[in-house]
Amino acid sequence: MITMDPTANARDERIRKRPEDYPGANLSNYEDFIGKFAWDQARALLDGLPGGGLNIAYEAIDRHLKAGRGDKLALRWIARDAKIRDFTYSALGAQVNRFVNTLAEHGIRKGDRVFSLLGRVPELYFAALGTLKNGSVFSPLFSAFGPEPIKARMTIGQANALVTTEAFYRRKIEPWRKELASLEKVFLTECSANLPPDTIDLAAALAQASEVCETVQTLPEDMALLHFTSGTTGKPKGAIHVHEAVVAHNVTGKLALDFHPDDIFWCTADPGWITGTSYGIISPLTNGVTMVIDQAEFDAERWYRILQDQKVSVWYTAPTAIRMLMKTGADFAKRFDLSRLRLLASVGEPLNPEAVLWGMQAFGKPFHDNWWQTETGGIMITNFLAMDVKPGSMGRPLPGIAAGIVEHLEGGSVREITKPMAMGELALRPGWPSMMRGYLNEEARYKKCFVNGWYLTGDLAMRDSEGYYWFVGRADDVIKSSGHLIGPFEVESALMEHKAVAEAGVIGIPEPTAGEVVKAYVALKDGFTASEALRKELLGHARQRLGPAVAPKDIAFRQNLPKTRSGKIMRRLLKARELGLPEGDISTLESEER
């Protein structure tokens, strides 16, 4: 049984684990394990391709077929209407091959970029794996994006092909498609009888394609995935990941999610973000587990039913979802038979200590928080199954990962701080297989991430005397809303496109369920007056361009916005004022009078 240590101080509180809480765990003795771990061994767990090649899709599917595991259930897809479609590893492989042959037939080749804009539908999995097996680069987009974030990403990524639904295409892509010359092929799902010009009906194409194909020979350092992420300023950044990343996807699945062949795994992440690829596709499949995929959006009862009926054993979810479950109460959870659950994990945003403890009430097990980023490609820090959980802590670094807390010195260098619980920037020693290899066409922004041999994460954190890491906040102005990273600049730019807007400053404000929500401050051009009607118009404008997940939830008008002498809007000051916090160092503030 897992017991709680009833110490008063939250930081000292711990959920103790005993060997009977983690029978057969892949990592049962941390110190011992990290001492022996080497990435080469992790690499040896995979087959590779002849001649030193490596391909993610081959490791996820073909390797299992070769080993006679083709009849194992790979993917159980639960449609919105609760109908189920099952794919064994061989059935999934056949669909993936059809997709590869479809791409090839349409001239999409090695190195070409294939984007997806899809919900959780089987075609997403065929497309992701088929793209990789074809040697092309897969780039998933969030389906709640509006046309602008989609256009920006597909333009930066120079998309050659897109897989999306007919409805998304008509609404979000067709209006600007002609502006993107690289985009040769558009494959549509859920097609009407009336196919838009210059598009391909994916279902028809797959039906005609052969189920047999060879893996395109890719090398470990060939680009495989392009995942977009946001910074404080400038356009979204395309983080480049290579086929070698599969070494980390695979082994971190074993170590952080404790994958065993019999596991039934449910990752609730949206496929438009990296968690949905690294742990919603690649890691579970390379580990040969069965994954459950639910097409529908969050619904507490539906989720408990899935956990119960599908006998989910490892569940990977996010704080926003956990907080929504908490609202329905622990007693509700207890109405279901959730006895198969053996590991609950959470990622993407700070997980409140109360949420970890609520896991104990509702499931008899804590949530295991873990930390990583688009740039790191895989889990870097985690609360291991076989280790005491400290509620509020992100856990300890994975084997093969060297983390530290650094302070910034004058002149731009950094230095590690080893004093327990000293706050600084979370940094990692580069060199693990799933580390990004660059930001696409943004060498300078990429280089800026590395100082004195450290990769700087942009997060502020502390490490305690036992080596557990504690998240403090972001070092930059990037917003995390419902686990989705939102760049304030992208939102400000969309607002600035409106004829009434002179200046816009965008911040995240705390909200109990989503963690943060987007709020915009707007100064109007001369000749425009603030009114409720204009506020609504601006909200509508932003929503239409950016999509509901990115658009501000609230807009406030200001005479002018606080700026530095060099003209940069001081988002931090907007935030401090919004929250009634001290304004901090305002020595660079330009006078706000006009």
User: Could you tell me which stretch among 151-159, 306-314, 348-356, 539-547 binds ligand WT7 (CB under 6 A)?
Assistant: 348-356
Among 148, 349, 425, 477, binds ligand WT7 (CB under 6 A): 349
C-alpha 367/C-alpha 346 separation (Å) is 6
Query: Cβ of residue 585: shortest distance to ligand WT7, in angstroms?
Result: 23
Least distance CB 302 / ligand WT7 (angstroms): 24
* 550: contact with ligand WT7 by CB under 6 A: no
Q: Is 347 in the site for ligand WT7 (CB under 6 A)?
A: yes
Question: What is the dihedral angle through the alpha carbons of 481, 487, 490, 491, rounded to the nearest 10 degrees?
Answer: 40
Give backbone dihedrals phi and psi of 189, rounded to 5 degrees, phi first.
-105, 170
Q: Interface with ligand WT7 includes 516 (CB under 6 A)?
A: no
Euclidean distance between the first and final Cα of the chain, in Å? 66
Selected range binding ligand WT7 among 89-97, 146-154, 368-376, 490-498, rule: CB under 6 A: 368-376
Q: Which is nearer to ligand WT7, 200 or 549 (CB)?
A: 549
> Given the rule CB under 6 A, which of 34-42, 67-75, 282-290, 364-372 is the region that contacts ligand WT7?
364-372
User: Do residues 46 and 247 touch, judged by C-beta distance below 8 A?
Assistant: yes
Contact 16, 388 (CB under 8 A): yes
Question: Which residue, 75, 30, 56, is CA-closest to 388?
Answer: 30
369 binds ligand WT7 (CB under 6 A): yes
Using CA atoms of 53, 54, 60, 66 in order, give the dihedral in degrees to the nearest 10. 20
Map the footprint of ligand WT7 across residues 446-505, applying CB under 6 A: 457-459, 471, 474, 480, 485
Binding to ligand WT7 in span 205-244, by CB under 6 A:
229
Q: Does 270 bind ligand WT7 (CB under 6 A)?
A: no
Out of 350, 366, 391, 399, the only residue in the binding site for ligand WT7 (CB under 6 A) is 350
CA-to-CA separations, 296 to 29, 165, 304, 549, in angstroms, rounded:
38, 16, 13, 16
Q: Which is nearer to ligand WT7, 76 or 480 (CB)?
A: 480
Closer by beta carbon to ligand WT7, 420 or else 473: 473
Cα separation, 177 vs 172, in Å, equals: 9
268 binds ligand WT7 per the rule CB under 6 A: no
Show contacts with ligand WT7 in window 385-414 (CB under 6 A). Answer: 394
Q: How far is the CB of 165 from ligand WT7 (least distance, A)?
A: 24
Asked if residue 439 binds ligand WT7 (CB under 6 A), the reply is no
Q: Which of 328, 379, 351 is nearest to 368 (CA)?
A: 351
What are 528's two structure tokens?
């425009």
Closer residue to ligand WT7 (CB): 199 or 374? 374
For 134, 291, 325, 366, the CA distances from 513, given in Å and listed in that order, are: 41, 27, 10, 19
- What contacts 206, CB < 8 A, 6 or more positions away? 95, 98, 99, 102, 126
Q: How far is the CB of 345 from ligand WT7 (least distance, A)?
A: 10
Rounded to the nearest whole angstrom, what is the least distance from the CB of residue 283 to ligand WT7 in the complex? 12
Q: How far is the CB of 485 from ligand WT7 (least distance, A)?
A: 4
Separation of alpha carbons 401 and 443, rounded Å: 24
Q: Which residues bind ligand WT7 (CB under 6 A)?
A: 229, 273-275, 347-351, 369-374, 394, 457-459, 471, 474, 480, 485
